[in-house]
């Protein structure tokens, strides 16, 4: 191990160092990062977790310590940010970028200042971006320096980059009109926007997705457009907030939940009225809970649906909220009908039983438009489509080589997509061909996967695993499955499969797994960048399931765009996802477009099987007493007050002098006026003497009363002791031992009329607790209770001794 040193030399005298500083003992070398404008030197070492900061000056000591920063992560590399990028108004003098194993972390050094303004002493002019000479001039011996620029935001030039080797680019003329201030002057900050990015965003309006929709009623400033071109499009739901609703809406005291349902099942299902949860008890029992009746469930057993075999999956009929389909390990599908008022007794006979599969069933999925149409997948590697009205199998799809992880209907109900363990994604047209219409590569991992149609049916989203068991999202174009996914997004490493819940109105997908504590939110686009990340929802404890409720359950007045149910170990909690908006008194029509009436069927099962198709009816979520925000009157722009620097620059020296003199005269002109306290009248000396005498007399009276009371108590105790000493035998001795407390006084204190040990003990315990000081009682009274108890105990002892003496007298 060697001691690390820092030495400073003068280039004019290189023979010896000006100063030397010993730091610590370590085998690694330090990287010096010097800011020449401030003279701050930052020393960083690879593999270490601290930074040293010194100030380099010409006078001794040439290296003076400033601060030492302890890092949270091990440093793998470091670099200084140019001073032109510093937050000068926040007195940020140096910013270091730390490279760790998984991130780049900024570390800022600030100088504390009270005034929020530009400080010339901290930020001198710094070299700009324009080169001083070209290569030929430098080879010819030119030593021209780079021109310096000011860091003052009010005088900073427009950032640009020029090169003598690259021809200047011709920019198209700007057709936007510059915004003017209310006074008619140009905005001084307009030229200080971020430089245009070299990255090109898609030119089609749909590429930016709903995040840049013009229906929001909010214009986009040039600086915001420049930032978007630099960072790419962002979702308007990026600030979404997930909140667990009040406990009054929870269903608690859930017991005996079946938390080991197959991976192809969501674990439970819900509609706008009730929730179905499989239980762990034998017989494949399913509990049905009413969402309109929240609260604590009774400790007794709940009425359930008795399936007779273990449950593998379950689903509510979207067009009949009272019908529940339950798949079992016996390869049968049971249809149950729940009474309108809820389940009040145990049901053992289902409404219907569907048989046809040869192995146990993976999952169930109702048709989105046609009534009484149900699809099921099984271990026999087939997908069967049932007519529930006829209670018979109508179609059978084949072509899978391994376990079917998931299936999903297209929004128009004409196609069916599946994802399989054999590593393929397939799309079927069930009414025309039992073999797949398209087939493409799926996730590499075989641990599980889910599939859902997104972007109005133009894309397929698959959640699965890669070969390293990392959870990932794959987005496919439905017309070109064979070409592979359009985009792949890796998330994290976890054992559970991500369960996607897609909202077609907002384009958002919620993803979480069984046993997770985080819910991912992404806005999906059919074009690049495909995935727009939004704020995630995080909970303290893991959930066992997460289900999206219908859109009509959202509170649009609070800009609630999604409501879900979160299943925990012993409770069921509603979670609301809301978007912060300023003008909540208006209906946010950019967030709530007309939604499909998903609870009304468009077709019958017979019509769909014969090839008919249709579109669902749309419904507006706008309350009748609210106005759309797109039709709301625009707020008048607030007039921005000029800064102090601009105000002073506009004034001449003579005007500044006159204003200063006027302010001083205004403050000092009334110095001869009387002060407010001068008009107060005091108290005469005679009144002070009178008040003092009264206070003394009152004090003497209080002390006298206390002294007299003490004398009376002492006199009574002495007289009682004297009377007790006058008694004969053991009674006189007992009374004197207890400081003169007589038998009658002891009985009065403990409130007993006759000498009974049980009654004495009972009253003593009660009075001792009542007079305890911790509950506001009196220590003096408590001590008298103890003395009375001791006096009566002594009396009992005397009586017992006299009784023994009387029994012995005849024998002698």
pLDDT reading at 139 higher than 90: no
* Residue of 1 and 586 predicted with greater confidence: 586
Q: What is the mean pLDDT of residues 74-78?
A: 89
Contact 368, 318 (CB under 8 A): yes
- In the chain, domain spans: 3-121, 252-596, 712-808
Residues whose CB is less than 8 angstroms from the CB of residue 150 and which lie 6 or more positions away in sequence, other chains included? 125, 156
Banded pLDDT at 365 (limits 50, 70, 90): very high
Hey, which bits of 455-539 come out as E strands? 459-465, 470-477, 487-493, 499-503, 508-512, 518-524, 531-533, 537-538
Tokens of 669: 């002109």
Would you state the structure tokens that stand for residue 646, as one six-digit string?
């601009």
pLDDT at 454 over 80: yes
Taking alpha carbons only, the member of 466, 514, 473 closest to residue 263 is 514
Q: Which CATH number fits domain 712-808: 3.40.80.10, 1.10.287.110, 1.20.1250.20, 3.40.50.300?
A: 1.10.287.110
CA gap 109, 94 in Å, rounded? 5
pTM of whole model > 0.75?
no
Calculate what percentage of the chain has a pLDDT beyond 90.
40
pLDDT of amino acid 723:
54
- pLDDT score of 789: 84
Q: What is the pLDDT of residue 724?
A: 47
Question: What's the average model confidence in pLDDT over 44-57?
Answer: 86
Task: Supply the pLDDT for residue 87.
Answer: 85
Q: What is the 3-state secondary structure (H, E, C) of 621-678?
A: CCCCCCCEHHHCCCCCCCCCCCCHHHHHHHCCHHHHHHHHHHHHHHHHCCCCCCCHHH
Query: Among residues of the chain, what percentage have pLDDT more than 70?
Result: 81
Q: Do 566 and 267 contact (CB within 8 A), yes or no?
A: no
Please state the length of the chain: 812
The DSSP bridge partners found for residue 347 are: 305
CA count, 13 A, side-chain hemisphere, 553: 21
Structure confidence at residue 673 (pLDDT): 59
Least confident of 201-215, 382-396, 470-484: 201-215
The whole-number pLDDT of residue 699 equals 83
Mean pLDDT of 56-85: 84
Mean pLDDT for 570-586 is 92
Using DSSP's 3-state secondary structure scheme, residue 737 falls into helix
Buried b (16+ CB within 10 A) or exposed e, 652-684: eeeeeeeeeeeeeeeeeeeeeeeeeeeeeeeee
* Average pLDDT value for the chain: 81
Instruction: Kindly indicate the confidence band of residue 639, based on its pLDDT and cuts at 50, 70 and 90.
Output: low
Task: Please tell me the least confidently modeled range out of 35-39, 219-223, 241-245, 574-578.
Answer: 219-223
Label the pairing between strands 545-548 and 148-149.
unpaired
409 vs 368: CA distance, rounded Å: 7
**Per-residue pLDDT tens for 158-197?**
555 555 455 555 544 444 444 444 333 334 333 333 333 3
Q: Residue 363 in contact with residue 327, Cβ under 8 Å? A: yes
pLDDT range class, residue 650, cuts 50, 70, 90:
low
Query: What are the tokens at 416?
Result: 């069916």
Q: How many C-beta atoms lie closer than 10 Å to residue 256's C-beta?
A: 14
613-627, 714-728, 798-812: least confident range: 714-728
Task: Please indicate whether residue 686 or residue 379 has the higher confidence score (pLDDT).
Answer: 379
**Which secondary structure element, helix H or strand E, spans residue 229, and what is its range?**
helix 222-231
Structure tokens belonging to residue 383: 């997908």
Task: Encode pLDDT of 207-243 as tens digits.
Answer: 333 333 333 333 444 444 444 544 567 888 999 999 9
* Residues contacting residue 118 through CB under 8 Å, at least 6 positions apart: 88, 89, 151, 152, 153, 154, 645
| Rounded distance between C-alpha atoms, residue 397 and residue 428, angstroms | 8
User: Phi and psi at residue 19, in whole multiples of 5°?
Assistant: -150, 160
pLDDT given at position 48: 86
Domain 252-596 and domain 712-808 have a common topology: no
Mean pLDDT, residues 499-509 taken together:
94
**For residue 331, is pLDDT > 80?**
yes
Answer positive or negative: Cα dihedral of 553, 559, 563, 566: negative
**In this predicted model, what pLDDT tens digit does every residue of 738-791 receive, in sequence order?**
445 777 788 888 888 777 888 888 888 888 887 776 776 776 777 788 888 888
| Collapsed DSSP state (helix, strand, coil) of residue 386 | strand
Token pair belonging to 346? 């145990």
Q: Which of 350-364, 503-517, 736-750, 782-796 has the lowest mean pLDDT?
A: 736-750
Q: Which residue has the higher pLDDT, 658 or 403?
A: 403
d(CA 465, CA 494): 9
The mean pLDDT of 723-733, rounded to a whole number, is: 45
User: Which of residues 313 and 734 earns the better pLDDT score?
Assistant: 313
pLDDT at 700 over 50: yes
Q: What's the pLDDT at 39?
A: 85
Contact 15, 23 (CB under 8 A): no
pLDDT band at 730 (very low <50, low <70, confident <90, very high): very low
Model confidence at 254, pLDDT cuts 50, 70, 90, reads very high
CATH fold for the domain made of 252-596: Methylamine Dehydrogenase; Chain H (2.130.10)
Give the model's pLDDT for residue 801. Answer: 84
624 band by pLDDT with thresholds 50, 70 and 90: very high
Rounded CA separation 54/42 (Å): 7
The predicted structure's pLDDT at residue 157: 58
262 — pLDDT class (breaks 50, 70, 90): confident
pLDDT at 682 over 70: no
Mean pLDDT of 698-713: 78
């Amino acid at each position: 191990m060697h001691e690390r040193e820092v030495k400073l030399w003068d280039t004019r005298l290189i023979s010896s160092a000006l100063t030397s500083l010993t730091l610590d003992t370590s085998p690694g070398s330090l990287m010096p990062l010097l800011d020449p404008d401030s003279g701050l030197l930052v020393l960083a070492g690879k593999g270490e977790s601290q930074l040293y900061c010194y100030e380099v000056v010409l006078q001794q000591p040439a290296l003076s310590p400033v601060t030492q920063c302890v890092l949270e992560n091990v440093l793998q590399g470091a670099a200084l940010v140019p001073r032109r990028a510093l937050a000068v108004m926040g007195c940020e003098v140096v910013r270091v970028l730390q490279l760790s194993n998984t991130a780049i972390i900024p570390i800022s050094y600030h100088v504390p200042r009270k005034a929020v303004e530009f400080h010339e002493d901290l930020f001198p002019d710094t070299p700009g971006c324009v080169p001083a000479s070209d290569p030929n001039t430098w080879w010819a011996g030119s030593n021209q320096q780079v021109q310096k620029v000011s860091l003052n935001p009010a005088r900073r030039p427009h950032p640009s980059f020029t090169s003598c080797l690259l021809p200047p680019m011709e920019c198209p003329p700007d057709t936007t009109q510059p915004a003017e201030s209310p006074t008619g002057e140009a905005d001084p900050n307009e030229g200080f926007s971020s430089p245009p990015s070299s990255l090109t965003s898609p030119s089609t309006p749909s590429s930016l997705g709903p995040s840049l929709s013009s229906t929001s009623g909010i214009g986009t400033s040039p600086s915001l457009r420049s930032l978007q071109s630099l960072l790419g499009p962002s979702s308007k739901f990026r600030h979404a907030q997930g909140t667990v609703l009040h406990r009054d809406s929870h269903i608690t005291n859930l017991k005996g939940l079946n938390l080991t349902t197959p991976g192809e099942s969501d674990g439970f299902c819900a509609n706008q009225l009730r929730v179905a949860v499989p239980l762990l008890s034998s017989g494949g029992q399913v509990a049905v809970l009413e969402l309109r009746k929240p609260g604590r469930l009774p400790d007794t057993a709940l009425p359930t649906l008795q399936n007779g075999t273990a449950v593998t999956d379950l689903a509510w009929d979207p067009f009949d909220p009272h019908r529940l389909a339950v798949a079992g390990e016996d390869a049968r599908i049971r249809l149950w009908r729940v009474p309108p008022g809820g389940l009040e007794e145990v049901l053992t006979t289902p409404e219907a039983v569907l048989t046809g599969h040869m192995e146990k069933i993976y999952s169930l999925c109702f048709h989105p438009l046609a009534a009484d149409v149900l699809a099921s997948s099984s271990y026999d590697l087939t997908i069967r489509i049932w007519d529930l009205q006829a209670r018979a199998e109508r179609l059978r799809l084949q072509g899978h080589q391994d376990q079917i992880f998931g299936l999903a209907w297209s929004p128009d109900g004409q196609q069916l997509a599946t994802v399989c363990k054999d590593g393929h994604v397939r799309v079927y047209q069930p009414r025309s061909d039992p073999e797949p219409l398209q087939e493409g590569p799926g996730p590499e991992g075989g641990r599980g996967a889910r599939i859902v149609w997104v972007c109005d049916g133009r894309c397929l989203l698959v959640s699965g695993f890669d070969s390293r068991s990392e959870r990932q999202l794959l987005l496919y174009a439905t017309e070109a499955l064979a070409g592979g996914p359009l985009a792949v997004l890796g998330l994290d490493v976890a054992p559970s499969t991500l369960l996607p819940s897609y909202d077609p109105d907002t384009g958002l997908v919620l993803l979480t797994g069984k046993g997770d504590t985080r819910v991912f939110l992404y806005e999906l686009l059919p074009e690049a960048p495909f995935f727009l990340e939004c704020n995630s929802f995080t909970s303290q404890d893991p959930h066992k399931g997460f289900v999206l409720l219908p859109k009509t359950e959202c509170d649009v007045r609070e800009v609630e765009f999604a409501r879900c149910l979160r299943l925990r170990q012993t409770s069921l909690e509603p979670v609301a996802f809301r978007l912060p908006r300023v003008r909540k008194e208006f209906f946010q029509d950019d967030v709530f477009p007309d939604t499909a009436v998903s609870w009304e069927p468009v077709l019958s099962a017979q019509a769909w099987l014969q090839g008919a198709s249709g579109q669902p009816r749309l419904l507006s979520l706008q309350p009748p007493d609210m106005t759309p925000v797109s039709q709301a009157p625009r707020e008048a722009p607030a007039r921005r007050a000029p800064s102090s620097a601009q105000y002073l620059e506009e004034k001449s020296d003579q005007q500044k002098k006159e204003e200063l003199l006027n302010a001083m005269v205004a403050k000092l002109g009334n110095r001869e006026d009387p002060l407010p306290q001068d008009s107060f009248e005091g108290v005469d000396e005679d009144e002070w003497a009178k008040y003092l005498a009264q206070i003394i007399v009152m004090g003497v009276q209080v002390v006298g009363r206390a002294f007299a009371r003490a004398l009376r108590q002492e006199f009574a105790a002495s007289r009682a002791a004297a009377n007790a000493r006058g008694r004969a035998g053991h009674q006189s001795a007992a009374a004197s031992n207890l400081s003169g407390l007589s038998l009658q006084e002891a009985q009065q204190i403990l409130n007993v009329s006759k000498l009974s040990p049980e009654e004495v003990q009972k009253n003593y315990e009660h009075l001792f607790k009542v007079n305890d000081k911790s509950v506001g009682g009196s220590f003096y009274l408590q001590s008298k209770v103890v003395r009375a108890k001791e006096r009566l105990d002594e009396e009992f002892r005397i009586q017992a001794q006299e009784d023994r003496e009387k029994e012995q007298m005849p024998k002698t």
